[in-house]
Amino acid sequence: MGMAALALLLAGAAPPCAALARQGTPTLQILSAAIEDGACVVRAMARPRPRSAIRIELRLPEAARWSGRYYQMGNGGFAGTIPSAVLAEAARRGDVAAATDTGHAGSGFDARWAKERPDLILDYAWRSIGDTPAVARRIIAAYYGRPARRRYFMGCSFGGRQALVAGARWPAEWDGLIVGAPAVRWPATLAAFATIAASLDRPGARFTAADVARWSIAARADPRWLARCRAGPLCLSKPQRHALMTIVQSGYPLVTADAGEWARWILSRNASPPSQRAFAVQARRNLFPTMRQDRLRQTFAIGSLAPFARRGGRVIAYVGDADAVTPPEVGLTELRARSAALGGALRLFVVPGMAHCQGGSAPHAFGQSLAAPSFRDDAVHDIRRALETWVEQGRVPERLIAATPKRNDRFVTLRAE
């Protein structure tokens, strides 16, 4: 028990964690504050605007174990839940961690909340990202009596986009960002999911994972294979060619395709998760009717990271080249352009054979998620340590070593671009 906690107990006051229940304001309701798994867990409801109801969860390690760092964790898909297990793991590392449901409840594949609620779309797209650290600052100051010395945002997929938005919209709030497979053009990507599904639904257009595997090998052997192949067992029918070209032109390279991932996400006829079609159906029914396309593009625009970089902010980004969810070529094009504009403040790692955020046939674990823990807790094997070392010690990350999760029997060295 810390000295501050002991003093409060001797004075007859409530334990420090329970006392955080009194930190509410007219726009902030503390729902609970209690010790769980060795950390103080605070659950709150922020109402910074009329009709907003943004759930926020913080996990605070005991004062003697606190690293002084604050991590905000991103969401996936259409958000709607708080990744409590991710927050718990961060608190065990000694970091304060927080996340939000972005202002609505539901699964990451469910956008029913968005229908006729443009205010909730704004909360989801960007406003809740800024509301959360404001709550965290209040709770951290009350619990520890001092602010966080470093502040980081970490996310993948839609969470990777959130990390970029955090740095662009609130450059003074953050010291470092971890950006994984970012959904940088989210409305356009959702529309592409629908276009791909429609191309596969044309008569004679369907193909299988086995076809993808064979065609990927052929494309690696001859980059012009698809354009030249007009007859033979490996060649495609006209509808198949149209569908495959639609997929490739949407940002999914055939040469790095993981046949199993394509089967699950791209080729699936199932409109229930997990599939691109599930996202497309939800967007068509709920998101797109609520906002015009030009307003959606504006709402989900990211903005410039230049002010963030000028303040000394740093970004580590990663993309798996076998991703079948957020198109890897779209993400890489965006991140390379930003890297060129930021003058060394962004380091990009391309992960061969990695699927969406983690997974795939190749070594892909470097501490980016619970499913992909680092082999060692250091700046070469763990992406969080790499960013912390860069921000706090000035050591630029030139490489990361990815391992096979759990077995740790294969490794690959990733070089920063």
Written as six digits, the tokens of 216 are 């990927």
Angle at 145 (CA atoms; ends 176, 133), nearest 5 degrees: 35
Beta bridge partners of 79: none
CB neighbour class for 150 (10 Å; exposed up to 12, middle 13-18, buried from 19): middle
Residue type, 208: T
Residue 356 has which token pair? Answer: 């969406």
Task: Give the residue from 62, 55, 69, 125 showing the smallest Cα distance to 97.
Answer: 69
Question: Which residue, among 358, 303, 324, has the nearest Cα to 156 in the 3D structure?
Answer: 358
Q: Is 331 exposed, middle or buried (0-12, 13-18, 19+ CB in 10 A)?
A: buried
Q: Which pLDDT score is estimated for 408?
A: 84
Number of residues that this document lists for the chain: 417
DSSP 124: I
Which pLDDT score is estimated for 301? 97
- DSSP, collapsed to helix, strand or coil, labels residue 319 as strand
Burial of 34 (0-12, 13-18, 19+ CB in 10 A): middle
Q: How far apart are CA 365 and CA 185, in angstroms?
A: 26
In the chain, which stretches have pLDDT less than 70? 1-15, 231
Write the single-letter amino acid at 241.
R
Q: How far is CA 315 from CA 75, 155, 283, 342, 349, in A?
A: 18, 12, 30, 10, 11
d(CA 182, CA 173): 20
Alpha carbon distance 266, 264 (integer Å): 6
The DSSP output letter for 12 is: T
Distance CA 339, CA 417 (A): 9
Predicted pLDDT at 6: 43
Which stretches of 171-237 are DSSP H helices?
A: 186-200, 209-221, 225-228
Q: pLDDT value at position 231? A: 67
Tell me the domains of the chain and their CATH numbers: 17-148 (3.40.50.1820), 155-184+302-417 (no CATH), 188-293 (no CATH)
Counting other chains too, the contacts that 208-217 makes at CB distance below 8 Å and 24 or more residues apart are 208/263, 208/267, 209/259, 209/260, 209/262, 209/263, 209/267, 210/259, 212/254, 212/257, 212/259, 212/262, 212/263, 212/267, 213/259, 215/244, 215/254, 216/254, 216/255, 216/256, 216/257, 216/259
- The edge-to-edge listing of strands for the beta sheet with 54-61 is 28-36, 39-46, 54-61, 96-100, 69-73, 150-156, 176-180, 314-320, 346-351
Give the pLDDT confidence of 248-289 residue by residue, as tens digits. 999 999 999 999 999 999 999 988 899 999 999 999 999 999
Report pLDDT for 2.
Answer: 45
